[in-house]
Amino acid sequence: MATSRATAAKAKKQPKKNHPKDELFVYDNGDGIRIEIPYIENIPYGVIEDGMDADGEADAVRVLLDGVMDEDARKARRDLTFSEFRELIETWNRESAIQLGEL
């Protein structure tokens, strides 16, 4: 029994695999708003550097999103409710191979 627990624990700790660069994360609020952005591990490093100069975590996330979203996606983001925006960020973070806190 101990072996199976150790195997299960090891399986949980294996890192996620990177998504292909051309595969996008898709958020759909089910009410007509659809946003496609790169997975976090595929954000260009220059955009990440821009976020490093931000004032606080919320500003850093805004800078990152502005750096990877086109004008339509930015407009769609502004139309999301706060709970939808939170769901977008949490799901994007969970499904990416790297999390925002690791940048």
More confidently predicted of 90 and 15:
90
Tell me: pLDDT of 100 over 90.
no
- Report which of 83, 103, 78, 82 is spatially closest to residue 93, judged by C-alpha positions: 103
For residues 10-23, average pLDDT = 82
Residue 8 has pLDDT above 60, yes or no: no
Residue 67 has pLDDT above 70, yes or no: yes
| Residue 89 contacts residue 27 (beta carbons within 8 Å) | no
Tell which wins on pLDDT, 1 or 82. 82
Distance CA 93, CA 103 (A): 12
